[in-house]
Amino acid sequence: MAQSILIIDDEKAIRSTLLEILTFEGYQVDDAADGAEGFRKIMDKSYDCVICDIKMPKMDGIELLEKVLEVKPDMQIVIISGHANIETAVEAVKKGAFDFISKPPDLNRLLITIRNAMERKSLVVETKQLRKKVEKVLDSDMIGTSEGLSKIRETLKKIAPTEARVLITGENGVGKELVARNLHRQSNRSKGPMVEVNCAAIPSELIESELFGHEKGSFTSAVKTRIGRFEQANGGTLFLDEIGDMSLDAQAKVLRALQEGKITRVGGETEIKVDVRVIAATNKDLMKEVEARNFRLDLYHRLGVILIHVPSLNDRKEDIPMLVEHFLETIANDYNQPIKDIDSAAIQALSKHNWTGNIRELKNVVERLIILSDKKITKKDIETYIFMK
């Protein structure tokens, strides 16, 4: 669809010339003979760009500019005038005009300005859409109204403004990282970074370098100095996921960092102050790990000032219908497909299932159903594609 432009000018010759040129360039062009007519057209139709004279009857260009931007702040308006001076140009731009061009307009400059205005409009629209998507994700990632989830929300509101360290426990796939992200977003450190480390995914011989960094030449492959995760998270939050898999040596250094607020890079001697709030998570019973001498008791007490347990999906099955609807929408959007309906019998079947993989498994199941089922997901689809032996 062609991009649309409105020309507002009381000089018929200017309107006719611009209309002919811009139509030839492929734009859809309307025109208006005065400010009042132009304002009415802008209110009735969405234009990608407006070219507007200043000196006009009924409503001048500056007044129109102010009135339009009050109602449509993203409108791109290019002011043109045969009475150009620096003061007028500055006033127009200050009041929100995209640009100011003297009459008679240089056509090359006018075309470039229009193209730039169109690009800016597209960027503004894309930015708003992305912001809405991000806000939607941030607002909806903890889906459900179950008692367990409600208690977590209440706890987060109480502890978020504090600097208390938090230990989040729960099975794999229950959403421990979502709880950590919500805690960071609600905290006074929300403008700072949130750095996530999966302790189970990093080899034990590399975990210290990952957390604390290293100096150049400290070991064979250390060809340059590296900043560790503690330093990266300075002023923000460090999320240590699966902390129960961390080696005892690394645990000792983490304990020291928590006690003193300082770290030392591998191979270095200088102590570096760090200001981080540590949130840890694990799917293990850390007290059993302490008894087995796999985890330090003093570190456990340092990390577990506040304990949050995230219930399994089997313990909050009343949330399954809401989670399914959420995944149907988000996955369909990811695939750029229409959102599929699901009948009540299918929802009941999903609610009765034993979810050993928790929310992660449920999301995978919904994705499979979206791909394999027809327009509407039925109980038969559940039996055919999910629970078949």
CATH number for position 334: 1.10.8.60
Q: Is 351 found in the same domain as 257? A: no
pLDDT over threshold 90, residue 56: no
pLDDT at 316: 96
Q: Is 177 found in the same domain as 93? A: no
Q: Is 174 found in the same domain as 117? A: no
pLDDT over threshold 90, residue 251: yes
Q: Is 164 found in the same domain as 123? A: no
Domain count across the chain: 3
**Cβ–Cβ < 8 Å for 229, 210:** yes
CATH number of the domain encompassing residue 129: 3.40.50.2300
Which carries the bigger pLDDT value, residue 128 or residue 71?
71
Q: Is 303 found in the same domain as 329? A: no
The pLDDT tens digits for 165-221 are 999 999 999 999 999 999 999 999 999 999 999 998 888 888 888 999 988 888 877
Q: Is 325 found in the same domain as 181? A: no
> Where is the domain boundary, 311, 338, 372?
311
Q: What percent of the chain has pLDDT over 70?
A: 95
Q: How does strand 4-8 pair with strand 49-53?
A: parallel
pLDDT over threshold 80, residue 74: yes
pLDDT over threshold 50, residue 296: yes
Q: How far apart are CA 373 and CA 384, in angstroms?
A: 10
Q: Is 297 found in the same domain as 319? A: no
pLDDT over threshold 90, residue 102: no
pLDDT at 130: 67
Q: How far is CA 191 from CA 13, 166, 232, in A?
A: 54, 19, 14
The pLDDT tens digits for 309-319 are 999 999 999 99
The pLDDT tens digits for 120-130 are 888 877 776 66
Q: Is 179 found in the same domain as 93? A: no
Q: Is 186 found in the same domain as 237? A: yes
Residues of the domain holding 24:
4-135
pLDDT at 388: 53
Q: What percent of the chain has pLDDT over 90?
A: 54
Q: What are phi and psi of 27, to 5 degrees?
A: -85, 155
Q: Is 114 found in the same domain as 43? A: yes
pLDDT class for 89, splitting at 50, 70, 90? confident
CATH number of the domain encompassing residue 179: 3.40.50.300
Arithmetic mean of pLDDT, 157-165: 96
pLDDT over threshold 80, residue 93: yes
Arithmetic mean of pLDDT, 332-353: 91
**Mean pLDDT for all residues in the chain:** 89
Q: Is 170 found in the same domain as 26? A: no
Burial class of residue 290, CB neighbours in 10 A (0-12, 13-18, 19+): middle
Burial class of residue 278, CB neighbours in 10 A (0-12, 13-18, 19+): buried
Q: In what order do the strands lie in the sheet with 99-102?
A: 28-32, 4-8, 49-53, 77-81, 99-102
pLDDT at 389: 42
Arithmetic mean of pLDDT, 256-283: 93
The pLDDT tens digits for 7-48 are 999 888 888 999 999 999 889 999 999 889 999 998 888 888
> Where is the domain boundary, 266, 283, 311?
311
> Where is the domain boundary, 262, 287, 311?
311
Q: Is 336 found in the same domain as 244? A: no
